[in-house]
Amino acid sequence: MNNHLSLTGSTAIGFLGGTFDPIHFGHLRPALEIQQALNLQALYLMPNYIAPHKSTSLATTAQRIDMVKLAIQETPNLQIDTRELHRETPSYTIDTLKLLREQHPNTPICFIMGMDSLIQFDTWYQYQDILTYCHLVISHRPGWAPTFNEIVSSLLTQHQIDDPALLHQQLAGKIYFQSTSQLDISSSSIRALLSENKSINFLTPSAVCAYINQHQCYRQ
Domain residue ranges in the chain: 3-215
Instruction: Specify the DSSP class assigned to residue 170.
Output: B
- Give 125: exposed, middle or buried? Use CB within 10 Å, 0-12, 13-18, 19+: exposed
How many helices (H) and strands (E) the chain has is answered by 9, 6
Would you list the DSSP string of 106-137?
TS-EEEEEEHHHHHTGGGSTTHHHHHHH-EEE
pLDDT number for residue 5? 47
| pLDDT score of 219 | 78
Residue partners of 64: CB distance under 8 A and separation at least 6: 19, 20, 21, 22, 23, 47, 57, 85
pLDDT at 91: 80
Q: Which CATH architecture has domain 3-215?
A: 3-Layer(aba) Sandwich (3.40)
Cα–Cα nearest to 35, from 77, 76, 80, 73 = 77
119-156 pLDDT tens trace: 999 999 999 999 999 999 999 988 888 999 999 999 99
Residues in the chain, pLDDT under 70: 1-9, 51-57, 220
CB 134 within 8 A of CB 3: no
Cα torsion for 191, 138, 17, 117, to the nearest 10°?
Answer: -70
Q: Tell me the pLDDT tens digit for each residue of 4-24.
A: 445 555 899 999 999 999 999
C-alpha distances in angstroms, 44 versus 32, 68, 97, 114, 125?
Answer: 10, 11, 13, 16, 22
CA 36, 113, 30, 105 torsion: positive or negative? positive
Q: Report if pTM > 0.85.
A: yes
Q: What is the pLDDT of residue 1?
A: 34
pLDDT (0 to 100) of residue 156: 97
How many Å apart are CA 201 and CA 22, to the nearest integer?
13
